[in-house]
Structure 1
């Protein structure tokens, strides 16, 4: 159990101290991952980025990922029996949302290059793992040196999925409850992170790196 996202971020940062001094980029899943990402980025003296990617859900089960989309690329699962028109429509819809997020979070700069760098993907917890796996897929296409997934809490099924993914080099998870139900269960204080708070976090972090 964590008091709040700050406590979870502090504990994760301690676990990741071995990466301090390396060529690292911290990539937070918006919006809940940003408070943790901010702490980890400061601790490791690394840039903080926002994961501008989303999964494409199956038309009959949105939680089941059949691919992932970023602003510039797309990956699809093998042997998916889904109409191409659905995939194209979802890609357009998702990219409109991502464009909005890009304009919100990156007002004065472009995202950092990930090529040849260690990327630490951070969220405040995962349930199925599908959202973070979408990010892993797309980060992998940018040829990083390594991909680390860091989360405070997740079910064992999601941890297994991550550890077996060929692009994931390490998974750092503080708690793996046997009776996992929802991420919010493991925080005493778990408010939604507003767009305004998320934007402020990115702006402050950018100023500190200048």
Structure 2
């Protein structure tokens, strides 16, 4: 922990940014097993929001694990640090008034709760944090297995694989619950958007209606 740093208070408040951008920032946190459909839903949701004229950005393994977190493995300690960093980056996007969409297994409750608290605590009243559990039976996820990861885990080639040799702690009170063995990608996006609009977290620009 660095000790020679000092917080510099910004002159521009979040409320001003929200008014000027005409958009409220928030984080949508997709969590679930590998092959549950998280990334596919995140891509579709990001595209939908952008087409509506809203600012949104997706954070997932492709743009985080190969860059910011390329120094981390998949041990429990590294997973904890991976989620801690992602939570801070997502909060920065949300603070800028963008809609941050994270798509990570994030298997441990304590890490997801840490991410939530990071968003909800703050000088300006916190930022909305929407946990979305992308739920699928592990047997169905294994059938999909697009990258062959479950097969490698069963063979012992991949260690600490969530759902096989490492735990996944299911959310207790996720704001949104998607059963992706029963819902299509399109219907999953509709359900997420329905929640966001019902809670007043997203306002569709008039030009997009």
The verdict on a shared fold, with TM-score over 0.5 as the criterion, is no
Q: Which has the larger radius of gyration?
A: 2
**Which structure dedicates a bigger proportion of its chain to strand?**
1
TM-score (norm 2): 0.32
TM-score (norm 1): 0.31
